[in-house]
Structure 1
């Protein structure tokens, strides 16, 4: 049979890009030419010339191909740099901001002018502490969410705007942050510091004491925050019987309203899912992780979250009402029914029923799925439920009909509350500003095809940022266990496979796979049941959520592809053959 075929007769444009990998030092003494082995096995080895081979050997480096002679087996490179390999592997733009970008920043010292105040409301007299609930004369409450007005400083189309759009999001690694916008904005002018005048975009509601919204308004504003509190500090104020100042009283009022809002969301079918968040404690000199633990969330985390969600929903309604075809929204599709099979079967193995007909049914049955003898069971079920979910995405309202956010049980949603770290929020701020006559529009803002392309890039950047964050956690986890050595920890089985169990160590938020088959070793007697589900190894049967003990260690036999290995300690089985694959719970 004839097949279409062709022959490369010329290359119009080279697509050289930097590659990550390690140097294979030449065995020839004093040699300057060595081979570089890329981490991506699809890429051929690359010839590199360097006098620093001894220094670079054993380290992960980045090289850029300069050319590939026709008579050479390997491409050439004359340049090497040691940098954040992880960022390159995940396509995260991380170069320093160019002078063209920096030229559009405001000149320092910066101050508010009369011109700036023409379209702003002066709210500096309010006791603002992120959000603020004074009681009105009619007995209702006024609650405001005040977000830094980043779009005031980043104007459409200039180099600063283009660079922010390209980056799409700030990327948070374990010990480094890759900003979407220059530091002057992210850490100064757009940081709502206490006792400093700052531009804000405010969403203000009039509510009754049952947290029902009576009126909503939006305004560009100037605020002067009376306190800049951590979640722990805010929680301490709420819990302290001795503190009765304006800020503390406001926080208590907000907390009361937030609990009502959360209950209403949950009653409507919003999901409360669980995913352990990992926090590293670093050595101040070496920057190596010296402790690894899951992050504890406080009541004030939930309080702030409720008002941020409410602001995002309120803004989504407003921009869609004004720009039905051009609103930048965020949706969370409902998972296909088959996604829930693993959750339903795992719950059934513990005689629990999980209903998945709707988000409401799922939320209700998760709430009821508890065991007095096994308090952690409900958390494990919620972790499994997160694995069943689809990815939330940005989209243009004029290019889609399904707006629903499944996880939040909201018919419409967007991102408004983090314009310092998300470019989507900057576009939403611009749409909202035009909607309230606080700013002028521009052609790209009402071009749904360009907005759809922008959403495509934002979704890609958001996904790669997540991957980079997980890889950062994985890398620092490897460093931690390299320094710690073998540790013995309690774990719970999340899944059973045909030849393995997947376990979660709650202490570290660390997930790994323990295999019961290994190459070149006798195969144990394995019996897998997909319906229960369960895995029997010799005379021991494993079920989801069973407690086990595992050894955790670093396998550094392949320097370029180091991994965490887990070995089953208890219960003992006749053949214990281990090889683990590492998975890290996402850091938010």
Structure 2
């Protein structure tokens, strides 16, 4: 739920900067070398950070054995503790799920997308995440203790077993048993789901598992029974959001409660009103969904701009099989799109769908979830208001359906529509064929 915080606040005054004093709200632990918490306290503070680093810079400092200054030693010690905390979480049944996150490289002058790539992951990201999770859990325990009726908490409901049917069927085809009796069983099943001949398999299973989940939501503590507070994904009995008050209003509510708890502020009527807190939580949940939709729409918009006028063959994987389509993931761009097997409202006369096995058969070719495929990727701009990606199958080759690789194509081939058939060129397209591409001025 992004707040429209001015840049002066979000990137300067409210952020830790190297060598500068900043007001903060701190959760401080005394932790032994085995990552056991001996004591926890909360208070308003002033922090003067030694240095500001990107995740990549921090990772390079940890990995560089020639660096043994205080910062390098501290980072390595924090990383060691984070690994213990994460191991303990996973042993308790916390899930490691996945969703393709992309980074769009923009031209600094024109603000047009230059490239799309999947975000790089660093161990330091996990290190920071573990301590953020621990802070959120610690704060949740504190505010619930002091405000049992009106604490703003966050829960993740247990999904109904029917949600996991696509995941279980996909695993069965691969000879993998996906157990869903508990979060711990699911986590172990996902950890064990590895095949050397398909290095991307485990990631796809985790992406599919993510689709089976229910949405995590905010709630007021006094509106539910304690057994319903549980966070399924993190496998913790209590959780809240405390660590990002710049971009989430929920964290601001939690800060207000915590400030009262540690004597840094006074309470007021609305803060202790259970029904008012619950009303705010419902609005937060709505705003959270809208922010997610907006984020996805922004990525989709810039991805469309990047692919406009391009025709590319890319390696992909079938994420799941539908009655008249295949959902395909293209790892290079973190892009997921639909490969239709028939026109909308029509049945395919080439493919035969097996709902029980979740497969599509075309003569001797059988397509399952997680099978590798090569697809032709292009953007259909016939309707400028509803541009959409068009996928065509390149391999495996299916007579009467697949298209030849780009290098084998006749240069006179016309653009195709959603079903892979040729469509008539528009007047603008015919004119543009005779135009030379403008040279890059940069």
TM-score, structure 2 length as denominator? Answer: 0.89
Contact 1:516–1:575 at 8 Å: present in 2 too? no
1:529-548 counterparts in 2 under 5 A?
529-548=354-373
Distance in 1 (alpha carbons) for counterparts of 2:23 and 2:114: 40
Q: Deviations over 1:219-274 (max 9, x none)?
A: 11111111111000100110111111111111000000000000000000000011
Residue in 2 that maps onto 1:439: 265
Distance in 2 (alpha carbons) for counterparts of 1:323 and 1:466: 30
Q: Deviations over 1:536-572 (max 9, x none)?
A: 1344211111110001101000011111111111112
Contact 2:380–2:387 at 8 Å: present in 1 too? yes
| 1:325 match: secondary structure | coil
Change (3 A) 1:282 1:434: same
Residue in 2 that maps onto 1:280: 104
Among 526, 548, 571, which residue is 2:351 paired with?
526
1:568-587 counterparts in 2 under 5 A?
568-576=393-401, 579=418
- The structure whose residues are more often helix, as a share, is 2
1:176-215 counterparts in 2 under 5 A?
179-215=3-39
| 2:71 match: secondary structure | helix
Residue in 1 that maps onto 2:190: 366
Residue in 1 that maps onto 2:279: 453
Distance in 1 (alpha carbons) for counterparts of 2:346 and 2:153: 54
Residue in 2 that maps onto 1:355: 179
Segment of structure 1 superposing worse, 514-523 or 530-539: 514-523
Provide the aligned C-alpha RMSD in A.
Answer: 1.5
Task: Please say if 1:239 is aligned against 2:78.
Answer: no
Change (3 A) 1:522 1:308: closer
The structure with the largest alpha-carbon Rg is 1
Task: Please say if 1:481 is aligned against 2:307.
Answer: yes
Deviation at 1:533, TM superposition (A): 1.7
Among 482, 494, 501, which residue is 2:326 paired with?
501
Deviation at 1:519, TM superposition (A): 6.2
Task: Please say if 1:377 is aligned against 2:201.
Answer: yes
Distance in 2 (alpha carbons) for counterparts of 1:515 and 1:525: 12
| 1:564 match: secondary structure | strand
Distance in 1 (alpha carbons) for counterparts of 2:347 and 2:69: 71
Deviation at 1:348, TM superposition (A): 0.6
Q: Deviations over 1:338-375 (max 9, x none)?
A: 00000000011101000000000000111111112212
Residue in 1 that maps onto 2:232: 406
Among 131, 139, 159, which residue is 1:315 paired with?
139
Among 245, 252, 271, which residue is 1:426 paired with?
252
Q: Which runs of 5+ in 2 are unaligned?
A: 403-416, 420-442
1:2-151 counterparts in 2 under 5 A?
none
Change (3 A) 1:522 1:394: closer
Contact 1:538–1:574 at 8 Å: present in 2 too? no
Q: Which has the higher contact order (CA 8 A, sep 6+)?
A: 2
| 1:507 match: secondary structure | helix
Distance in 1 (alpha carbons) for counterparts of 2:13 and 2:54: 19
Distance in 2 (alpha carbons) for counterparts of 1:520 and 1:390: 30
Q: Which runs of 5+ in 1 are unaligned?
A: 1-168, 171-178, 581-588
Residue in 1 that maps onto 2:291: 465
Deviation at 1:523, TM superposition (A): 4.2
Residue in 1 that maps onto 2:76: 252
Q: Kindly tell me the number of residue pairs found equivalent between the two proteins.
A: 403
Residue in 2 that maps onto 1:144: none
